[in-house]
Structure 1
């Protein structure tokens, strides 16, 4: 009889373990907005990222331009910094340097959304994805810097190379970093662009990317706040692996404390894919089936 009871107890215990495992798997597979990991691939909590951002000089928040969760968390980071009495400067790839005047006029309340749309080179998804950040800056009286190179000059570099920038007017050069712009084609990101281009354009293709990176870094460095980070929003490719904007920031100010948030979309949210670990100080993962904004 005792033997039978022992067998029954063991079966119940095994059944309990199986149920616990099934529940754990179900929870792991349950839909969730995001997962966050450190540079070693270890799961971390959102407050860990906020605390690291508080201590940084520059935060490079990478994104996929059509991911609503990433855009939501960009705004949440600013809310959390403000709640901690940290007043960051903001900036974005999605606004070009020659639009700074109208951006400032919008922040000051002098122009409406419609006037901003008419005057600035806004992205098609501006009002769904980036305008909330501008509104946040407006409400809290934070600077918002249009950091990217005017697109006509990126196109010019694609046609004529970086050396061609010397031919531009002094008025045009006001929207560029100091010339000549350093360029290292051996950086893996730029080297990969040569392969992606299939030989078309030669080095001028990664040069066109480099002038964007260099210009964004220049306007970040020119607008660093005291006692608070500059939080910059950009496509992930512009800041992954410490390259792109980060490389130019370190060229300009080697001792700068730069925090990079890399992003990735995948189906399994329980652990990061190996190839994405270490591409930033934090890895923000969203689900690949997440609805896109455009």
Structure 2
């Protein structure tokens, strides 16, 4: 089952605006608990956390622009910051280290990380963030695991895979009931064989393996005193049921989930969607990036 539609399905099932409110969200505003929050207050709150999660729709350039501006704001408040990436598996870490050290050009970065095979989305969407990290000497952390390991963990169980072969990632916490229901709904939208009950179990286990792997990478950095900022798909962030739930199970008590949110007329964002959302103009944002990234 192709993993790319998982997050898209979860988001489509979840991003439902609330009713019309007298105070309409405006592009450029942060919203938290049904009200607008000044940018400096929200960023100051985020900078006090152990972990901050920045969700994204992978092919939306405005989501990445928002991530970059948020990263810059956080780094102005916390020098001890790292940026965790869903986009790359753990074995790409030496390449990221070489990139931040200035030892690679763009083509070498993309070739050595096997970007097209590993991630596949237009690198032009992400290169501004990579350049920001190198300019500011902010460590980039590969959070993900390979699809092969994810499938092995979901099929065999964590207890049957030696710790050194799973990067010492612990077994995940059970999925919250609402998250499990959303995962099942996403599975049912795309599953080819509905008569195999084990397939749904493997699908949910694979998603939990994905969540806990990223949570583990961020938690490791947070325990060293860093502000660990994770960039990942919206489906891992919404309702704090994915990565945030796994972080909580690891004893990370101070985490903040942030999402971009497209305004729809005078709707207000669901306050349970994330700890805060940043308002984008729905008609203005685009799902494309410049094609020249050399």
Specify the TM-score bucket, using the shorter chain as the normaliser. 0.7 to 0.9
User: How far did residue 228 of structure 1 move?
Assistant: 4.8
Task: Give the Cα–Cα distance (whole angstroms) in 2 for the partners of residues 57 and 113 of structure 1.
Answer: 30
2:93 aligned counterpart, secondary structure = helix
**RMSD value, Cα:** 2.5
Displacement after TM superposition at 1:277 (Å): 2.1
- The correspondence of residues 115-194 of structure 1 with structure 2, limited to 5 A, is 115-122=108-115, 123-157=119-153, 160=155, 163=157, 165=158, 168=161, 172-174=165-167, 177-178=169-170, 181-194=171-184
Query: Which residue of the partner structure matches residue 80 of structure 1?
Result: 73
Displacement of 1:45: 2.4
In structure 1, the residue matched to 2:254 is: 257
- 1:202 counterpart = 2:200: yes
Q: Deviations over 1:191-232 (max 9, x none)?
A: 321122124621111111111110001111112276652111
Distance in 2 between residues matched to 1:46 and 1:128, nearest whole Å: 27
Alpha-carbon deviation of 1:33?
A: 4.7
Shift of 1:259: 1.0
The 1:64/1:34 distance shift into structure 2, 3 A limit, reads: farther
Distance 1:85 1:237 in 2: 27
Q: Secondary structure at the match of 2:222?
A: coil
Superposed displacement of residue 257, structure 1: 0.8
CA distance in 2, matches of 1:154, 1:115: 27
Task: Give 2:54's aligned residue.
Answer: 61
1:90 aligns with 2:83: yes
**1:169 and 1:110, CA in 2 relative to 1: closer, same or farther beyond 3 A?**
farther
Report if aligned partners of 1:210, 1:244 keep a CA contact under 8 Å in 2.
yes
Q: Hey, what's the Cα distance between the residues in 1 that align with 2:176 and 2:46?
A: 30
Q: Tell me the alpha carbon deviations over residues 240-266 of structure 1, each in whole angstroms, 9 at most, x when there is no partner.
A: 212111111111115x21111133324
Counterpart-to-counterpart distance in 1, 2:268 and 2:135: 36
Aligned counterparts of 2:247 and 2:241: Cα–Cα separation in 1: 10
Q: Classify the secondary structure of the residue corresponding to 2:133.
A: helix
Deviation at 1:66, TM superposition (A): 2.3
* Cα 1:186–1:223 shift into 2, 3 Å: closer
For residue 229 of structure 2, give the secondary structure of its aligned residue in structure 1. strand
- Structure 1 consecutive aligned stretches of length 4 or more whose deviation exceeds 4 Å: 165-171, 225-228
**Closer, same or farther: CA 84–150 of 1 in aligned 2, 3 Å:** same
- Structure 2's unaligned 5+ residue stretches are 1-23, 189-193, 290-294
1:74-105 CA-partner distances (Å, limit 9, x unpaired): 11122223333533111121122121111111
Matched, 1:114 2:107: yes
Could you say which structure has the larger radius of gyration? 1
- Indicate conservation of the 8 Å contact 1:34/1:284, yes or no: yes
Query: CA contact under 8 A between 1:59 and 1:259: conserved in structure 2?
Result: yes
Structure number with higher relative contact order (C-alpha < 8 Å, ≥ 6 residues apart): 2
Partner SS state of residue 223, structure 1: helix
Match in the other structure for 1:10: none
What is the aligned partner in structure 2 of residue 293 from structure 1? 288
Length, aligned pairs only:
254
